[in-house]
Amino acid sequence: MSTMIKSVAFRVEVDDLAAALPTYQELADVDEPSLYEFPGLTLASVGPFLLLQGAPETLTALRRNGTLTVSDLDAAVAAFVGNGGSIVDGPAASAGGFRTIVRDRDGNVFECFQPGA
């Protein structure tokens, strides 16, 4: 049996992405982070960290405990919902795949993301 979760990204909100990058690059031993621009938001993927810089209201709307990259989005969502959780948003197409935002029975919010083929 293979694990459904392929990786976990820790979401870290930062005030100054350029100033924060060196710390996380050193921690993750990553020379070149992947950078993404969206309206009102800049993201940097640095090893297991997803750094987010944006206006407070934008960050509040995107606040999650983490991002779970999964092999089977439907099964991951079913695991949350089947154990007392709920779907907050989605499923929806996302940059590079599909995602669903879920809340577990204790109120923790996660983004479940399945990369596209």
Query: May I ask the CATH class of domain 64-117?
Result: alpha beta
First to last CA, the chain: 21
If one compares 27 and 1, the residue with the highest pLDDT of the two is: 27
Single pTM value for the model:
0.79
14, 41 in Cβ contact below 8 A?
A: no
**For the chain, where do the domains classified as CATH 3.10.180.10 start and end?**
9-63, 64-117
Per-residue pLDDT reduced to its tens digit, 53-100: 999 998 888 888 899 999 999 999 999 999 999 999 999 998 889 999
C-alpha–C-alpha distance, residues 106 and 75, integer Å: 19
C-alpha–C-alpha distance, residues 6 and 11, integer Å: 16
* Superfamily, domain 9-63: 2,3-Dihydroxybiphenyl 1,2-Dioxygenase, domain 1 (3.10.180.10)
Confidence (pLDDT) at 117:
65
